[in-house]
Structure 1
Amino acid sequence: MVNSLYKKLMRNLAQHIRDDYQPNQQLPSERELVEMFKVSRSTVRLALNELEERGLIYRLHGKGTFVAPVFINQPDLGNMYSFSNQMITEGKRPSTKNISLKLKNPEDWIAMQLNLEKGERAYELIRLRLVDDEPLLYSRTYLPEKIFPDLVLADLNEDTLYGVMKKKYHQISVLAFEDVQAVNLDAHEAEHLKVTENAASLKINRKTINDKNIPVEFTQALAGGDKFVYRSKQYNQF
C-alpha cells in the first residue's frame, strides 16, 4: 500500500512540477506537501527521493527542495535502472523487444568483467528498448550461467530483466559502474535503431554488482546521440 501511495504521489508531483514550476524554483516543504496531498511524511519522503534520483528535483541542506534546471528535455542515460518508470512518469509508453538469448563462451574481456573462470559460460541477451514504438536503445547483456541457470526467453518476455533477477534468482542489484563514450553506429546497429549508418551514438558499458559484491550483469548499450542526455549532480564541499 505504501509503495502504491508514494508512486502515485511521485507521478502527481512530477506533473505538478512540469505544469506549475520553473527551473530552480523552491517546492513546498515536506510538511506542506503532507497537508496538500493528505499523505504521511514517509510517503512524501519516498516520492521526493525518487524524484531526486530521476533528476527532477535537487535538495540543498538547510534550504529546501528545488526544481532541477531543465537543460534538455530528454531521457537521462544516468538513470537506466528506472528507464521504464521514467518514461511512464513522462507520459510515454515504454516497451522491450527481446531479440535473442544464447548461451555462449564470452570474449575474454567480457568474462573478466563478470569474474568468470576459463570455460564458464554466460547468456547473451540482445534486446531493443522502445518508447512509443520508437527504438531508443540497442543492447547486449551478459549474465553468468552459474548465477542464472536455466534462463529462458519466456522469463524475459513476461517480466523485466531486473524483475526476473530478483524474483526467479533472488539476485538484488545494489551498485552499477558505468562509462559512456561517443561512437558511430555500424550498419547492423543502425538498422535496429532506424538511423543511418555511421550516425552518432552514445555507448554505455555497465557492470552491475549484487548485495554480495559479485558481478551479475555486464551490458553494452547503444543510444541515439540525439535522443539522450547524461545528467549528474555535483556538490562543492566547503
Structure 2
Amino acid sequence: MAKASLSERLTQELEKLVTEQLRPNDKLPSERALSEQYHMSRNTVRVALNQLFLRGFIYRSPGKGTFVAEPLDNRADVAAAFSFTQQMGAMKRHPESRVVALRQIPAPPMVAEHLRLKHGAAVHVLDRVRMADHEPMMVERSYLPVAALPDLDKALLKDTPLYDLLQAHYGIHIDTVDETFFADLMAPEYAQLLNVPPNSACLKIRRTAFTTTGDIIEYTLSAARADQFVYHVQHANH
C-alpha cells in the first residue's frame, strides 16, 4: 500500500481535531499555528485545510478565519421537504419563525414580474428569521400580493406557519413550489440575525409558490447558513 503523503496524514489529523475535540462553529487555529503545532509547512497545512473544506468539515469566513462546520448528517436538506416547518418536524427539531418586519410597498419591477403583477401593484414584504430549537437557521424575505391577502398582519402570523395560514384563513392551497439554489456570502445584516460571521458561506434560495389554480402567491428570497443546510439530490439512470 502506498505511503500516505504529508498532506493526507495532516488531513486525517485535522479531521480528528474537528470531529472529536472541537464543536460546530469553533474557530480553528491559524495556518501558522497549525504549521508550528504539527511541524509541517504552511503549504501542507493549506492543502489539508482545502481537503477538509471540500469534504464539508470546515467553512471559511473572509477576514475572520476558519471554523468547524456542522456535521453533514445533522444539516437540514433544503430539497427534502415542502416547507421549513415540515422539514424541521421531520428532523425532530422544533421549528419557530420570528417576524422581523411586515410592510406594504409598490412592487418593484423584478418582484412584479415574478408574481405576475402589474408594476407598482401593492405587495406585502415579510421578513422572518427561521429557527430550529431556538437556533437561527435562515433569513427569509417573502413578497405576497396584497390583493390576495388584504388583511395579512403580524398577529395572524404569530403562531401559525405561513402556508397553514394561507390554507386556513384564505382558503389558498400551495400546490407546487419552484426553487433555485446558489452559493453566496452572508450579507452583514443577515449575519447579525443568524449569529454568524459576516461574509461566511451561505446558501441562497429563490422560491416561487403556485396555488392549485396556477396563480403565484409567494416569491421568497432566503439566505441559509451553510453550516446548517445541505442540498441533496438523488439521480437514477434508467
Q: TM-score, normalised on structure 2?
A: 0.67
Structure 1: which 4+ aligned runs deviate by more than 6 Å?
Answer: none
Matches of 1:90 and 1:164 in 2, distance apart? Answer: 22
Residue 183 of structure 1 aligns with an amino acid whose one-letter code is: D
Per-residue CA deviation, residues 82-114 of structure 1 (Å, 9 max, x unaligned), is 432332333322211111110111221111000
On the 8 A contact 2:107/2:119 being kept in 1, the answer is no
Task: Look up the equivalent residue of 1:128 and give its one-letter code.
Answer: V
* 1:162-185 per-position Cα deviation (integer Å, ceiling 9, x unaligned): 011111111111111111111111
Deviations 1:11-41 (A, max 9, x none): xxxxxxxxxxxxxxxxxxxxxxxxxxxxxxx
| CA positional deviation for 1:151 | 0.8
Alignment partner, residue 207 of structure 1: 208
d(CA) in 2 for partners of 1:227 and 1:80? 15
Q: 2:165 aligned with 1:164, yes or no? A: yes
Alignment of 1:41-190 (within 5 A): 72-190=73-191
Q: CA-atom RMSD, angstroms?
A: 1.6
Q: In structure 1, what is the Cα distance between the partners aligned to 2:209 and 2:92? A: 28
1:71 offset after TM fit, Å?
6.5
Deviation at 1:147, TM superposition (A): 1.0
Higher mean Cα deviation, 81-90 or 186-195? Answer: 81-90
Match of 2:229 in 1: 228
Which sections of structure 2, spanning at least 5 residues, go unmatched?
1-70
Which ranges in structure 1 are unaligned for 5 or more consecutive residues? 1-69
Task: Please state how far the C-alpha of 1:217 moved relative to its aligned partner.
Answer: 0.3
Task: Tell me the distance in 1 between the aligned counterparts of 2:137 and 2:114.
Answer: 25
Deviates more, 1:173-182 or 1:86-95: 86-95
Partner SS state of residue 138, structure 2:
strand
Deviation at 1:157, TM superposition (A): 0.6
Q: CA deviation at 1:139?
A: 0.5
Moved more, 136-145 or 105-114: 105-114
- d(CA) in 2 for partners of 1:158, 1:74: 25
- Size of the aligned set, in residue pairs, is 168
Shift of 1:153: 1.0
Q: Distance in 2 between the 1:118 and 1:95 partners?
A: 33
Give distance in 1, aligned partners of 2:189 and 2:86.
Answer: 29
Distance 1:158 1:72 in 2: 29
Equivalent pair of 2:109/2:120 in contact (CA under 8 Å): no
Identical residues among aligned pairs (%): 29
Task: Determine the C-alpha separation between the residues in 2 that align with 1:71 and 1:118.
Answer: 42
Instruction: Indicate conservation of the 8 Å contact 2:76/2:228, yes or no.
Output: yes
